[in-house]
Amino acid sequence: MKLFLSLILFLSTTQAIAAITLINVDGASNSDIIANNSNSSEELAPIIYGGLAGSDCTSSDITSTCDSCALVSSTASMACNTNRIFGDLLLTIYFSSSSKTGLPIITTGEEGSSALAQTDRSNSSTVGSQLFISIAWDIICNAVAGADCDSVTGSHYKTLRLGVDADNDTALTSADDYTTIKFIVSKPTVDTFDSTTKSSANGINSLIVFPGDQKVYIESLGFPSSYPRVNSSIGIFKFQQVRIIYSTSAGSALPNDPANYTDLRITGEGEQIDVSPDLVEGLTNGQTYHFRFGSVDDAGNLSNVFSETITAQPSKTAGLLAEDINCFIATAAFGSTLDSRLNSLRQFRSQYLLNSEVGRKIVKLYYNYSPAMAEKIYHSKALKLIAQAVVWPVVFWVEAGLQYGFLIVNFLFLTLLTLSVFGYRRWQKC
């Protein structure tokens, strides 16, 4: 009998908890309330983000986030958020309950804890009707991070309860109808970095930009082992995009104007992380551009902005010769980027050259100086023959190394070279 009653109580409690449906959120940097809607599990709880990157952009409009990116005026500090929260900003959550009537209420995650926010009786519910509740972000920041929003540093999260106070005791218990929502409040700890301090960055810390026809390609992303996690202790909080900031002058390559940047979605995981699309389009051929990059997290915070610039100049010739792989001279010699002989060069570049500091410098030098040489080769039959004679041994060495290992191939090459020199000297003595 006791087992039967316990089962009835459990089922009724589960039904009550699962009866909240989240409808919309206003006044947040970002939210994920649809995919995990009405799930009381803390692991799968809906998430509401409050991003605090950049300068305080407090507004008299306490119903809308503000744009701290618009305030960026120099390279000294470029972390920002186009939907930044502030202490007086009201977070409004719209929801409904299919099982209870009562007042909308938010409490901490503990059973029976007192209300953080509660509406008056004019917003009392009927079953299935749309409800809303508003709460200042300063209250949330204190509940989640233990400080007012202006004093928050780093990333913090806590699970709170949202529901209908059916018994009017200013708390949410099994007698009421509620769901859990995970709140994440974050102010990035890494604003900008340069080539000497990139080890401190927890976002993308290096990449290669190379030119195409009215575009540039983004390749060889460098990142720490924890990437794309923003904070190793909060597994669900991640970087979602790489922001490529660019301008025709280095000083103007700032994230203060949407026309100056493009966000590329992060794909893959582990060592296979990449961006999609992997290019920035709509550029002018022959114009030198200055590029910076940063990482954008779930809360919309732009951080880890590279303070130095990377330059590239799109061109029609580069586009013809560089589509997809940018094997300039090899493409000019063989005539097509689709030639199977170039696949090995692409693989060697990606697997070996781009995975070492020296290799990346070699690739950068190649991208800077080879397009002009490639254009001359492309239009000259004699130069094509010379280029093919030079490239063929390289392709053979690369293909053999990729198949059998470069240690073995290099050993055989050195052995063959030694025997050839020895044989030549013997021949001269005869």
The reply to whether 64 and 134 lie within a common domain is yes
Torsion sign, CA atoms 6, 9, 13, 14 = positive
- 10 Å CB burial of residue 267 (0-12, 13-18, 19+) is exposed
The reply to whether 119 and 106 lie within a common domain is yes
The reply to whether 267 and 401 lie within a common domain is no
Q: Nearest-CA neighbor of 291 among 217, 190, 238?
A: 217
Domain count, the chain: 3
In a domain, 138, yes or no: yes
Contact 221/274 with Cβ under 8 angstroms? yes
The reply to whether 194 and 146 lie within a common domain is no
- Of 161, 187, 213, which residue sits at a domain end? 187
One-letter amino acid identity for 233? Answer: S
One-letter amino acid identity for 423? Answer: G
Residue with tokens 């961006």: 275
In a domain, 231, yes or no: yes
Look up residue 336 and give its two tokens.
């097509």
Give one word for 332, left, alpha or beta, with left for phi > 0 and alpha for psi -120 to 50. alpha
How far the first Cα of the chain sits from its last, in Å, is: 109
The reply to whether 89 and 165 lie within a common domain is yes
Which whole-number Å values give the CA distances from 271 to 209, 228, 315, in the listed order?
Answer: 19, 11, 31
The reply to whether 364 and 233 lie within a common domain is no
One-letter amino acid identity for 414? Answer: L
Q: What angle do CA 11, 17, 23 make, to 5 degrees?
A: 140
Q: Supply the pLDDT for residue 7.
A: 42
The reply to whether 167 and 28 lie within a common domain is yes
* 106 DSSP 8-state letter: E
Residue with tokens 């610039």: 309
The reply to whether 300 and 341 lie within a common domain is no
Residue 98, SS3? coil
In a domain, 48, yes or no: yes
CA distance 327 to 209: 14
Which whole-number Å values give the CA distances from 22 to 49, 93, 156, 160, 299, in the listed order?
Answer: 15, 8, 23, 14, 19
Q: Supply the pLDDT for residue 389.
A: 80
- 10 Å CB burial of residue 37 (0-12, 13-18, 19+) is middle
In a domain, 321, yes or no: no
In a domain, 79, yes or no: no
One-letter amino acid identity for 427? Answer: W
Q: For the stretch 226-248, what's the b/e string if a residue is b when 16 or more beta carbons lie within 10 angstroms of its beta carbon?
A: ebbbbbeebeebebbbbbbbbbe
The reply to whether 137 and 110 lie within a common domain is yes
Give one word for 214, left, alpha or beta, with left for phi > 0 and alpha for psi -120 to 50. left
Q: Which structural domain range is residue 96 located in?
A: 2-74+85-187
Beta-carbon-side half-sphere exposure of residue 406 (alpha carbons within 13 Å)? 8
- Of 187, 210, 232, which residue sits at a domain end? 187
The reply to whether 141 and 159 lie within a common domain is yes
Q: Supply the pLDDT for residue 231.
A: 79
Residues 6 or more apart whose Cβ sits within 8 Å of residue 357: none
The reply to whether 219 and 256 lie within a common domain is yes
Question: How big is the chain, counted in residues?
Answer: 430
Q: Nearest-CA neighbor of 49 among 79, 29, 22?
A: 29
The reply to whether 239 and 363 lie within a common domain is no
Domain holding 223: CATH number?
2.60.40.10
| Ordered per-residue pLDDT tens for the chain, 430 residues | 444 444 444 444 444 444 889 999 999 999 998 654 544 444 567 999 999 999 999 989 999 999 999 999 999 999 999 999 999 999 999 999 888 888 899 998 777 677 887 765 555 566 778 899 999 999 999 999 999 999 999 999 999 999 998 888 888 888 888 999 999 999 999 999 998 998 889 999 998 887 878 988 898 888 998 899 997 778 889 999 999 999 999 889 999 999 999 999 999 887 788 899 989 999 998 899 999 999 999 999 999 999 999 998 887 654 444 444 446 566 666 665 445 566 677 677 766 776 666 776 777 777 767 767 777 777 778 887 887 787 778 878 888 888 888 888 888 888 888 888 777 777 776 6
Give the DSSP H/E element, type plus range, for residue 3.
Answer: helix 2-17
Q: Supply the pLDDT for residue 354.
A: 64
Q: Supply the pLDDT for residue 148.
A: 96
How do strand 47-51 and strand 177-187 relate by DSSP bridges? Answer: parallel
Q: Supply the pLDDT for residue 61.
A: 93
Give the DSSP H/E element, type plus range, for residue 206.
Answer: strand 206-211
- Of 187, 211, 227, which residue sits at a domain end? 187
Find the largest Cα–Cα distance for the chain.
112
Residue with tokens 């290669």: 208
